[in-house]
Structure 1
């Protein structure tokens, strides 16, 4: 199987996805727990659990990106190492 994206794009996507998963997980957990920093102002949303669900949905999307980009990076590594079997 051949990679769809370049090796640079795959590794960039991995780094961005891991960073986004960590940051959004922290933000989502703060909304879910009703943290004063997220829910203390009059302009903040009233339904912290709903906001947390939306943020955790974004975490799932970034998780899918991470799986895809990880598989692309793996394919590039395998191709560079000569481990690819080609039937010609």
Structure 2
């Protein structure tokens, strides 16, 4: 199987997705718990659990990116071990 994206793009996407998963999971947990800074104001959303569900959906999308880009990066590593010439 050949990689679809370049090695730099694959590893960049993997790192960005990893940090996005961490940050969005923390935000979703704070919304779900009803943290005062996020749902306590007048202009803030009233239903923190609904917001949390939406943010967790974004986490699952980033998990998909993380898996796909990580596999692409591993394909590049496997290809370079075989002595393939990259252009």
TM range (shorter): over 0.9
CA RMSD of aligned residues (A): 1.3
Counterpart position of 1:33 = 33
1:12-23 correspondence runs (5 A) = 12-23=12-23
Q: Which runs of 5+ in 2 are unaligned?
A: none
1:1-88 correspondence runs (5 A) = 1-82=1-82
Cα distance in 1, alignment partners of residues 10 and 47 from structure 2: 36
Cα distance in 1, alignment partners of residues 42 and 15 from structure 2: 35
- Please, what TM-score do these two structures have when normalized by structure 1? 0.92
Q: CA deviation at 1:52?
A: 0.1
Q: Which runs of 5+ in 1 are unaligned?
A: none
- Please, what TM-score do these two structures have when normalized by structure 2? 0.93
Cα distance in 2, alignment partners of residues 31 and 22 from structure 1: 14
